[in-house]
Amino acid sequence: MDRYEIIIYWSDDDQAFVADVPELPGCVAHGSTHEEALGNAKEAMRLWIESARADGQPVPAPKGQRLIFA
């Protein structure tokens, strides 16, 4: 799970750091700090993968090009 790319950026609209996991469509989290956004993203990734497997949906293999881009 730690091999998926995570992109963290500041959102003025949300007044929070947003952590996007582009390889898992719709997997996005946020937090008031960079660290909180990252922790929330890891939990969101775990739930995304768990839900996909429970629904019999494929889980994309991580591309492994970048681990964290922040």
For residues 17 and 9, give the distance between their C-alpha atoms in angstroms, rounded to a whole number: 5
For residues 13 and 53, give the distance between their C-alpha atoms in angstroms, rounded to a whole number: 33
Q: Mind listing the pLDDT tens digit for each residue in 35-69?
A: 999 999 999 999 999 999 999 999 999 986 655 55
Res 2 pLDDT > 80: no
The model's pTM: 0.85
Res 13 pLDDT > 60: yes
**Backbone angles phi and psi of 16, in degrees to 5:** -155, 160
For residues 5 and 64, give the distance between their C-alpha atoms in angstroms, rounded to a whole number: 7
**What pLDDT score does 63 carry?**
86
Q: Mind listing the pLDDT tens digit for each residue in 17-34?
A: 999 999 999 999 999 999
List, in order, residues 6 or more apart from 32 with CB less than 8 Å away.
Answer: 16, 17
**What pLDDT score does 22 carry?**
94
